[in-house]
Amino acid sequence: MFRIEAPRVARLVPFLLLLATPAFPADGRIEINQAIVDAAGGFPFVISEPGSYVLTGPLSVPASTDGLVLANEIVLDLNGFSITSTAVCGQASCPAGAGSAIVPFQLFLGGSRSTIRNGVIGGFGSTCVRVLTATRVEDLTVRDCGGAGIDANERSVLVKNSVFETGGVGIRMAPSTLFAHNTVGRSGLGAGGGANFSGGRASAGNSCDDGSCSLAGSRGLGWDRRLDASNGDAAGCGSDRFACVLPTIANPDGAAVLDLETGLVWDRAPSGGTNLGRRDAMDFCAKREVGGRLGWHLPMVEQLASLIDPGNALPALPSGHPFQGIQNGLYWTATADANATVNIPNIGWTVQLGSGVVFNGSELNEGPLTWCVRGGRAFDGNTQR
């Protein structure tokens, strides 16, 4: 995923930076410009020492090549200048390829606890900006990226960035990343598609053109689109569709799953609600605590059916999903059958998770499984709300 540069370059950069004239602007930051990069042997240009760096001119990076490779604890001010390569997105597509403007020095060994701000980035065949843990990215304009615009890992902060015309997700984030006042549009122009925003925890003021956010910063509903669930991490979290939320000691990735297509939050590892009648299943969810939160309910039939991928079986869930312990059996929904009465309360709709088939008129006193959801409309046994 990330390029690991040769030690030769890493050793040369601090030395050549000291030879540059001027090596330090008046404010004491270390200068980077095209002449300094060329003197160090060109791109990729490794910044191997913690410190504060500033661009004093635009950088032009050859095609399919990484631009700046960052160690940890770097403050990089683009100073209003640009880092550009040669790829350009068209009206309907973005060319995918290699090369990023900014990448970590090594996977898990660089690009953390840093700040990147104030400039223009674009024209790279892969993801334009990749950062790791606890990094702040602010006031960037990013466009013409064959992959994502910005890809940020855990505990990062993204503020006041504008991202347009990307082959993949506009801004992809780990679940704990915070983002506010970002504007994203024309994402997903590549073969794999992608939403404007994926993952993260919205704060306020994010704008997008595909329903993956709202002007208030909260997630909008996307019932009219399909998001990719297979491009998350090894646990299935952080994909375009699913974000793992409500972390616990037992499940640090998240005890629940936010479905970005519908805005519903699902119990990630449903358990305990077995061999119940429909009314008892509703009671079970009403009392359930997941991730330190109450407020769960038995899903309506359309809510549970929204998780079904008709092309899959055993279980019939989207490929790459993050759910755990899902059984290939019948699951209750709160939707009552038209023939249900006070005397026969356990006639309701069920969903077979192994095949994805939806059944009405299931008259079962016990047997179906229980999967609880948070958000959306619910059924309290008398009225829908």
CATH of the domain at 316: 3.10.100
C-alpha to C-alpha distance for 254 and 295, rounded to whole angstroms: 17
In terms of Cβ atoms closer than 10 Å to its own Cβ (0-12, 13-18, 19+), residue 180 is: middle
User: What's the one-letter identity of residue 103?
Assistant: V
Angle at alpha carbon of residue 36, lines to 101 and 144, rounded to 5°? 20
16 & 159 share domain: yes
Measured CA to CA in angstroms, residue 70 lies from 3, 5, 13, 78, 245 at distances of: 11, 11, 11, 14, 29
In a domain, residue 252? The reply is no
CB neighbours of 311 closer than 8 A, spacing ≥ 6? none
Q: Which of 128, 124, 371 is CA-nearest to residue 266?
A: 371
* Domain match, 206 and 284 both: no
Is residue 351 included in any domain, yes or no?
A: yes
Same domain for 186 and 329 = no
Considering the domain boundaries, does residue 248 fall inside one? no
Q: Indicate the length of the chain as a whole number.
A: 385
| Integer Cα distance of 14 and 31 in angstroms | 11
Asked if residue 229 belongs to a domain, the reply is no
Distance, in Å, from the CA atom of 87 to the CA atom of 216, rounded to the nearest integer, reads 33
Q: Are residues 348 and 274 in the same domain?
A: yes
Do residue 215 and residue 118 come from a single domain? yes
**Of 220, 254, 283, which residue sits at a domain end?**
220
Domain boundary, last residue among 194, 220, 246: 220
In sequence order, what are the residues at sequence separation of 6 or more whose Cβ sits closer than 8 angstroms to the Cβ of residue 342?
none
CB 333 within 8 A of CB 359: no
> Around Cβ 340, how many Cβ atoms within 10 Å?
16
Q: How high is the pLDDT of residue 269?
A: 93
What is the tally of structural domains in the chain?
2
What sign does the dihedral 313-319-324-330 (CA atoms) show? negative
- Note the pLDDT of residue 13: 42
What is the domain extent for residue 65? 7-220
Residues 6+ away with beta carbon under 8 Å from 125: 63, 64, 85, 87, 95, 96, 97, 98, 99, 146, 147
Q: What is residue 12's three-state secondary structure?
A: helix
Same domain, 199 and 312: no
Q: Give CA angle at 11 (9, 14), nearest 5°.
A: 100
- Rounded Cα distance between 2 and 127, Å, is 10
- Assess if residue 381 is contained within a domain: no
* pLDDT value, residue 253: 83
Residue 254 lies in a domain: no
Could you tell me the pTM of the whole model? Answer: 0.54
Is 133 a domain residue? yes
Q: Are residues 14 and 121 in the same domain?
A: yes
Q: What is the pLDDT of residue 108?
A: 43
- What beta strand segments (E) does 107-149 contain? 115-124, 129-131, 136-145
pLDDT along the chain (385 residues), means of 10: 33 39 64 96 94 96 94 94 88 81 71 89 94 91 93 90 91 86 85 79 74 50 68 83 85 87 90 83 93 92 93 94 93 78 65 90 67 79 42
User: Would residue 32 count as lying in a domain?
Assistant: yes
Which residues, 6 or more positions from 230, have their beta carbon under 8 angstroms from its beta carbon?
239, 318, 319, 320
